[in-house]
């Protein structure tokens, strides 16, 4: 095993999976779907900000 485990990528993928599955679960209710779409967009922005902070040497976990 030469690869180093990247916890940041693993956790980010977990968050994206949770959001995607939640969005699917809300398809029958337009209000819930609208909320989840906004949440998904915010989650994507947060993921990008965490990645930028990680490059700068600051670790910010996706789950606290």
Q: How confident is the model at residue 12 (pLDDT cuts 50, 70, 90)?
A: confident
- pLDDT at position 56 over 90: yes
From CA 54, how far away is CA 35, in angstroms rounded?
28
Q: How confident is the model at residue 64 (pLDDT cuts 50, 70, 90)?
A: low
Query: What global pTM score does this model have?
Result: 0.67
Domain ranges, ordered by start, for the chain: 7-52
From CA 13, how far away is CA 32, in angstroms rounded?
22
Q: Contact 19/43 with Cβ under 8 angstroms? A: yes
Q: How far, CA to CA in Å, does 61 sit from each of 8, 26, 30?
A: 7, 26, 31
pLDDT score of 3: 78
């Amino acid at each position: 095993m030469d690869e180093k485990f990247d916890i940041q990528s693993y956790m980010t993928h977990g968050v994206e999976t949770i959001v995607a599955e939640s969005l699917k679960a809300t398809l029958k209710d337009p209000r819930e779907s609208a909320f989840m779409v906004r949440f998904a967009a915010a989650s994507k922005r947060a993921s990008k900000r965490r990645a930028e902070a990680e490059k700068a040497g600051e670790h910010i976990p996706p789950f606290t």
